[in-house]
Structures are given as structure tokens and as C-alpha cells.
Amino acid sequence: MIDRNKHFLRLQDWSEERILETVEIASSLKQEVHAGKVSDRLHGQNIAMFFEKPSLRTITTFQVGMNQLGGNAVLLDPNSIGLGKRESVKDVARCLSRWVNAIVVRCFKQELVEQLAEYGSIPVVNALTDDYHPCQAIAFAQMIKEKLGGFKNADGKPKTVAFIGDGNNVANSFLALASKVGMNFTLACPKGYEQPAKVVEEAQEGLKKHGCQYRVFNDPKEAVKDADILYSDVWVSMGQEGEKASKQSHFLPFQISRDLLKLAPAHCKVSHCLPAHRGEEITDEIMDDLSVNMSFEEAENRLHAHKAVLWQVMPPFNA
């Protein structure tokens, strides 16, 4: 049985209180860096980073983050390890548990992070799988708190996130976030690209508790009418390149453009988890309009959100 509080495998696994605390820690760590200070909380500790998928933001920010916290990051080569081929997941997990203090994994199958957590004795952090992207959700929550004033509007009503595109791993973690902290979540996608029923069902209790809604539209123009922020991700995720031609024909109307943004409330902002395929899911004009595009604020937060997650799962040696 996996102790899901020991790890960060899915956002759904953590309580509302722990998620909010993690966001607060991220903001504090960000302020420290801006003030020229860094914590040495993880002095002498090491993380192993196993990345099956390409990365810019995740690979950079976990390595820099561990350095800022006084620790070290070891980047593992998936081809050399041959996880599950050259050597079993069980044996790798047990060996790493004797050398490092946590494992950060960016891979295709959610099953892999679950297995590493099951067979190892150290914390495992999900840095992205095909099913979930919980670290992105923490960085997004931090951006909402810092740039949009929190999860409620001035009238006390919950903010509304409109996710425009595929009901993918990022959407799944953002729906979980909405259910935990109290935001409305709207998905605009072509028919057949909705989120898994299990993910939606799991969010219902939290949404109901906060008086929030989950809605799905197949027309993006309807989805944005009451949105406080529009969100986008690539239409074709890593590993799905063979679906690009068929997906693009379905997703062309689901582009965040100036015309779509005009249909949203005047205060509405935009963000993207990056990398963005300009001219596909979002236009050049919107990406370069930093008065509405919060993507780079969110990208900056990846550094501090990742440190905050490590802060939560890796106690200092003197604790």
C-alpha cells in the first residue's frame, strides 16, 4: 500500500490544506530569491531525475531548485538504465532508495511513478505523466494567487478557469486543483476529447463542497463567456505525434486568439503550460501580449513550485 502523502503522484492525493500550504511555501521561496536569499533546507540531500520525455522548464527548474535549497540533482539517462528492460522497476527503485533522498519522474505511464513509489522507500514526485501534471497545477495556483488575487473574485464568487483544447493530463490536474481550492472549471473541446469519467467523478465532491461547477462545451465561444482565465496546451502531446493530422482538423476552432478573448470578460487573462505551438492552439499575438498572457509568470513559478513540493516531501536532515 502506497502512503500517498509521502509522495506527490497526483494532486488528488493531497488535502486542500496541504496544497494551499505548498502554494504559500512556493511564494515565500520566490520572494527569498528575489531578495537575494536562498534556504539551505535540503543541504546534503540528493534527488535522482528520470526523464523519458523532453523537457526545458521541468528539467531546469528541478536542478536549479535543488541547488538553491542546498542539495544536488542527478540526471539519469533512460537509455543507460533501461528501466523495465535492462533492469526491473523494483530493483531500480530499491537501489535508488539507498543512494538518493527522492526521485523525480517525467514519463509516459502513470503506472511507472506508482511502481517506483510502491517498491522504493523514498518520496517520488510526478513531474508529468500522460495522465497527470500535478507540478504544473501548483505553479498555476501560485500564479492565480500572485497575479489574479486568489481563487475568488472581488464579489466573493469563485474564479472560472476555461481550459480550451484537449482533456489531457494538464486539464486533469487543473480540474483536481479547482475541486481542492474552490474554482469553477470549464473544458472546451471537440466531441470525443473529453476528460476521463473517473477524473471528473473524483472531482465532484470537492466542487460541491466549494459551490463550484464543472462544465463541458464543444463550442469554445460558449465556454469563455464567464471565464477569468483561458488556458491552453498543445493539441498533440508528446508520444501522440502520429495523431497530429487528425487532431488538428478537429481542434482548429479551439485556438486562443484575439477574437476568442474578446468574447470573454474584459478582465480575462490567458496562460499556457508551454511549450506553445504558436499559430496552432494559441496565436502569436496573444503569446506576445504580456498584458494578458501570464504563461511566463507561470513558467517562473515552476522553479519555486518544484522547490515547494520537494520542501513538503523531503524533511531536512536535522528534522
The answer to whether residue 184 scores a pLDDT higher than 90 is: yes
- The second-level CATH assignment, the architecture, of 11-132+300-313 is 3-Layer(aba) Sandwich (3.40)
Q: How far apart are CA 46 and CA 74, in angstroms?
A: 7
pLDDT at 236: 79
- pLDDT over threshold 80, residue 256: yes
Q: Where are the domains of the chain?
A: 11-132+300-313, 149-293
Helix (H) or strand (E) run with residue 300 in it: helix 295-313
* Residues 47, 313: Cα–Cα separation, whole Å: 12
CA 95, CA 26: separation in Å to the nearest integer? 30
* Backbone dihedral angles phi then psi of residue 186, each to the nearest 5 degrees: -120, 130
Q: Angle 133-139-143 (CA atoms, 0-180°, nearest 5)?
A: 140
Helix or strand holding residue 239 (H, E): none
pLDDT averaged over every residue in the chain = 96
- pLDDT confidence bin for 80, thresholds 50/70/90: very high
* 118, 126 Cβ separation under 8 angstroms: no
Distance (Å, whole) CA 312 – CA 134: 14
Mean pLDDT computed over 126-149: 98
Write out pLDDT tens, residues 36-78: 999 999 999 999 999 999 999 999 999 999 999 999 999 999 9
Q: Is the backbone peptide bond immediately before 275 cis, with ω within 30 degrees of 0?
A: yes
Residue 116 pLDDT greater than 70, yes or no: yes
Report the distance separating Cα 310 and Cα 176, nearest Å: 20
Q: Max CA-CA distance within the chain?
A: 58
Amino acid at 211: G
- Strand 124-126: give its sheet, edge to edge: 72-76, 46-51, 102-106, 124-126
Q: What is the residue-wise DSSP string for 261-295?
A: HHTS-TT-EEEE-S---BTTTB-HHHHT-TTTB-H
Evaluate whether 254 touches 191 at the Cβ level (below 8 Å).
no
This prediction has a pTM of 0.97
Please tell me the least confidently modeled range out of 19-23, 81-85, 126-130. Answer: 81-85
In words, the CATH class of domain 149-293 is: alpha beta
* Backbone torsions φ then ψ of 53, nearest 5 degrees: -105, 150
Q: What element of type H or E holds 189?
A: none
Q: Give the cell for residue 209.
A: 463542497
Assess whether pLDDT exceeds 70 at residue 221.
yes
Q: What's the residue count for the chain?
A: 319
- Give the span between the Cα atoms of 22 and 308, in whole angstroms: 6
Q: What whole-number distance in Å separates Cα of residue 121 and Cα of residue 101?
A: 9
pLDDT at 44: 97
The span from the CA of 210 to the CA of 185, in Å, is 12
What value does the mean pLDDT take over residues 98-104? 98
pLDDT at 243: 67
Shared fold status for 11-132+300-313 and 149-293: yes
What pLDDT was estimated at residue 248?
79
Mean pLDDT confidence for 310-318: 94
- What are the DSSP calls for 55-119, one per residue? -SHHHHHHHHHHHHTT-EEEEE-HHHH-BTTTB-HHHHHHHHTTT-SEEEEE-S-HHHHHHHHHH
pLDDT given for residue 191 in this prediction? 96
How far CA 157 is from CA of 116, 125, 211, 294, in Å, comes to 40, 33, 9, 22
What is the identity of the amino acid at 316? P
What's residue 249's pLDDT?
78
